[in-house]
Each structure stands twice: as C-alpha cells, then as structure tokens.
Amino acid sequence: MYRFAGVLLALMILLPNAPARAEDKTLVVFAATSMKNALDDIDAAFTAKTGTKVSASYAGSLTLAKQIEHGVPADIFVSDDPDCMKYAVTKKVIDEATKVNLLGNSLVLIAPKAAEIDRVTIGPGFDLAKLAGDGKIATGDVKSVAKYAKAALEKLGAWQAAEPKFVTAESERAALALVARGKAVLGIVYSTDATVGPGVRIVDTFPADSHPPIIYSVAATAIAKPEAKAYLDYLRSPAAKDVFERYGFLTTAALAQSPYAGMQTRPIKALSERQVAELKTGHGMGLALAAELNGYPGPAHVLELSDKLGLSAAQKARIQTLLDSMNAEALRLGAKLLNQEAALDQQFAGRSITPKSLKAATEQIGITQAELRETHLKYHLQTTDILTPDQIRQYSILRGYGSDGATQHHHDMQ
C-alpha cells in the first residue's frame, strides 16, 4: 500500500513536467570538428538573443551524416565536405531547400611551435617527404581534411613519396595534438584549426588551386524543429559573420570573389611571387617535365643523388659543368623574361598599349619563353648522355617515377 502511494506521488510530481519536456525547443546541431570554437561562440550568442538553447555535437562530416541517416536526432547539419552533404541529401535526411554554402577554409602545413623548421614555400616540386625526414605527418579525418591534403599533394607531385609517412587521426583536433606533442613532425590541417592550436605554428599555406575548394555547407534536417530556420538565418547574420572571420573562416563574400582577387597588388600581374623568385634563381618552373618524366634526368637532381647513383668523379665533373652552364643561361633568360613581362604590364597600367605594341611584346615574350624551355630541356639531354642505363633507371626510382621513368609524380623544378 505504502509502495503504491509512493509511486502515485512520484507520478503526480512528474506529470506536470511532461508537457514542458515535450515542448523542449533545444536545437541539436551536428557540425564538423573544425567549427567548434566559432560555433560555440555563435550558439551562445544565438541563445542569448532568442532564448532557444543549442546543443552541438562535433565529429567528422561523414560520421555525422551517417548518424543522421540512422536516426540520431538532429536539427542542423554543418559539413566541411560537399560530398558528405550530398550523401545526406541523397538519403533524404536533409531538407535540401534549406542548404546553403556558408563558409570556406584553407589548408596549411604545421609544425610543433618549438621545431626548427623554417617557413617553406609550397608549390610544384615541394618535397614534403624530405622535409619530414624520419618523422610522421599527421592529418585528420579521411573524409575531410585528409582528402584535401591528398589532393593537394598529388597535384604538387609530393604524394607518392610522402604517403608512407602519414598518420591519420580521428579528427583535425587530434591531428593538432599529435603535432603539438611532437608525435608527428608535421601536420596538414585547416588554417582555422591551426590558429587555435597552442602548440603548433603554420609553416606555409597550400595554394588554393592545389586542391578542391574547402566549402562548409549547412542545412536543416528533414525532422528539424521550426526554430531551425531562425538558427540558419542567424548563421548568415553580420554578428555570426564577425565571429567566423575572427576565427579565420572565409565568409560567403570572400568565397564569391574572383580567384584573381589580391593579384592586383603584384609588381608583375602575370607572375606570382614564386614564379618571379624561380626566374630570378634560374629554376625551370616545370619547363623540363617532358624530359624529366620520360627518362631524361636533369643535372641538378643527378648531382643531389650522386652518391646513391654511384657517379664517378669524371661524371660528377662533367655534370657540374653542365649545371653551371644551364644556370648561367637560365639566369640570363629569366631576367630577360621578367623585364619583358614588366614592360608589357606597364603598357597596360599606363594605358599606352596598342594592337601593334601588344603583338610585338607578346612575340618577344614567346621567343624568350621558348629559349628558356629549350635551355632546360637540352641540358637534360646532355646529362642523360653521361649516365649509364642503370643509373638512369635508378634515378627514376629514387625520384619516385618508377623503373621506366614515365610515372608522373614529381615536378622538375630546375
């Protein structure tokens, strides 16, 4: 009897609270891990403004998409990978009409803050494996940042040699921790993660055109509460925009810019800072790829690998002579090309360009470019004549091209 009375009393106490729980307006947000710091701040501001609570859960985008697919309740999905958002849409667990591209991000190379690695220039021919040495390279979820890292390294010709050194963490933040603790000598993460990682520093940023655009899309789920619309609107408000930009995200205004935005400040508009530097130092900017990737080694890399190739003293001397001659010609032609490009740029800047002067300028530039390319290619030919067939095969293997020297992997930067 007493036990029944106790149960009845408990029910009387609990029942009045049941409607309140049924009307719970807490929004459940599933978001990519790299959103955490910014979204925590935005969620707090949204709650303060509207009274609607927000409960955020952070993980890899594909993990979150699959959780939503399998019925885990969520109102909002923020993905850092368009493919993961598409997956959720195809599974009909997303209200596609609400989907928008919200933000962008960039990809960076990081090192422990105390590391002695200087800033590097990431571009074609970038040797990440050499930079890592015997250490590991950490990156995050295979369906987010790791996907962009692989795409970038493949385009730059650095993936094949670097792949064995990679350690894939469960998330970007876990990758940050591996680098910060010295468990990995380098890491590839989003720039927004790197800026909040206290134990790491950015070594360089990957060129934007080396990987697919990193786009964060957001949408309400198919079972979202009515309050989800207000939340989506708030994510695109000026207040949220300020928070996102403070954490380093690219907002929609920046994403809509032309890919040429920022280039207007270049001294020579047609040439990047890296291209100018390579022309000034006699590098080939990939001009000798037709030779390099078809089994015709270049003198600079042959000398770098001289011990592994077993070069004789006579071979070293002859190849060094070739390298000195190539550098002298390349420096002269590089300086000439820079002057010609600068002159063309000035004609446009000063509004003095005419069809006749344009034709003359571009013809001169074309001739110099052809001479520069021929210079690099002919010294590959002459270098090959000095090497034995076995040395040429070994060179291709050491450079990561395969035994036939035809595997497109590493861009020649002589």
- Give the pairing of strands 137-139 and 100-105: unpaired
Say what the pLDDT of residue 3 is: 44
Does pLDDT of 7 surpass 70? no
Question: Which segment, 9-13, 79-83, 169-173, 399-403, is predicted with the most confidence on average?
Answer: 79-83
Say what the pLDDT of residue 285 is: 66
Per-residue pLDDT of 371-398, as tens digits, reads: 999 999 999 999 999 999 999 999 999 8
Per-residue pLDDT of 93-150, as tens digits, reads: 999 999 999 999 999 999 998 888 877 889 888 899 999 999 999 998 776 788 899 9
Instruction: Give, as one character, the DSSP assignment of residue 70.
Output: T
Say what the pLDDT of residue 265 is: 64
Does pLDDT of 413 surpass 50? no
Q: How many CB atoms lie within 10 A of CB 177?
A: 18
Q: With contact defined as beta carbons under 8 Å apart, do 200 and 113 qualify? A: yes
CA proximity to 174, closest of 68, 36, 8, 330? 36
The β-bridge partners of 103 are 216, 251
Does pLDDT of 365 surpass 60? yes
Say what the pLDDT of residue 141 is: 76
Does pLDDT of 208 surpass 60? yes
Q: With contact defined as beta carbons under 8 Å apart, do 15 and 192 qualify? A: no
Per-residue pLDDT of 155-185, as tens digits, reads: 999 999 999 999 998 888 889 999 999 999 9
How far is it, in rounded angstroms, from Cα 158 to Cα 143?
A: 20
Q: How many CB atoms lie within 10 A of CB 385?
A: 9
pLDDT > 90: what percent of the chain? Answer: 65
Per-residue pLDDT of 244-291, as tens digits, reads: 999 989 886 666 655 565 566 678 888 877 788 889 988 866 788 899
Domains, the chain, ranges and CATH? 2-104+214-255 (3.40.190.10), 107-205 (3.40.190.10), 264-398 (no CATH)
Higher pLDDT, 349 or 321: 321
In the sheet that holds 200-205, the strands lie side by side as: 166-168, 137-139, 186-190, 107-112, 200-205
Interhelix angle 355-386/313-349, rounded to 10 degrees, is 170
